[in-house]
Amino acid sequence: MATDWKSTFQKQDAIWIHDNKPARPHALLTSGLHSNGFVNCSLVTQDAALLKTIVSGPDGLAPRLLDKPDWVIGSALGAVTFAYAVALQLGANAGFTEKDGEAMKLARFEVKPGQKILVVEDTISTGGSTLKTIEGIQKAGVPAENILPYIVCLVNRSGSSSLGGRELRALLTLDIHNWAADDCPLCKMGSQVVRPKANWAALTGAYA
């Protein structure tokens, strides 16, 4: 029987969806957009045994990991652990990009000429951080053609099957909505917007 990954994430308390009640706050994303849902992948990736099962299982990401890159690179900090787990599965090196002002840079790792890179991400919402990671890798001297033509992620909530011309290969695809602040229907009903990870208990817990 195939694993119900959505239920698995829910058991980890990693998925939150707004219940359309004004007393419940809603999520402010890194992009500045407001959202009626959030996936806190750190509550999944912190479980080493679960992450290993996700990456290596036949009904997990293993069938999507068909190539043998030299590097698996994610963005800091959310995809660091995930990149390491995928690299371990593929027998590759693991690395990450880190913030450099508004950009991302590949600062701690040296990719040799000709080496291939798989880019991974924990959650893709707008995809902005992932695109910055790819830009950072290229600025480090890696040609675009040496970055594999797909991105592997735990959760795709972007509403698209591709990002920047690269296929998105996700464990879990969710229908979660985003709005600009001025257009947010949850704000209009009186719901407060908050940073989700810092206010996870307020989003997911009991309220008056």
Q: What is the mean pLDDT of residues 185-200?
A: 95
Other Cβ atoms closer than 10 A to 5: 20
Architecture of the CATH domain 5-12+41-176:
3-Layer(aba) Sandwich (3.40)
- Judged by DSSP in three states, 48 sits in helix
Percent of the chain beyond pLDDT 90?
A: 93
Q: Is the pLDDT of residue 160 over 60?
A: yes
Q: Name the residue ranges covered by the structural domains of the chain.
A: 5-12+41-176
Q: Is the pLDDT of residue 208 over 60?
A: no
Which of 88, 68, 74, 35 has its CA nearest to residue 154?
74
Percent of the chain beyond pLDDT 70?
A: 99
Q: Is the pLDDT of residue 206 over 90?
A: no
Which of 24, 135, 44, 141 has its CA nearest to residue 85?
44
Helix H or strand E encompassing 125: none
Q: Is the pLDDT of residue 76 over 80?
A: yes
The overall average pLDDT reported for the chain is 95
pLDDT attached to residue 207: 53
Tokens for 192, please give them: 């407060």
Tokens for 134, please give them: 């790819």
- Judged by DSSP in three states, 146 sits in helix
What confidence category does residue 203 fall into, taking pLDDT thresholds of 50, 70 and 90?
A: confident
pLDDT attached to residue 129: 93
Q: What is the mean pLDDT of residues 184-191?
A: 97
Q: What is the pTM of this model?
A: 0.93
Q: What is the mean pLDDT of residues 31-47?
A: 95
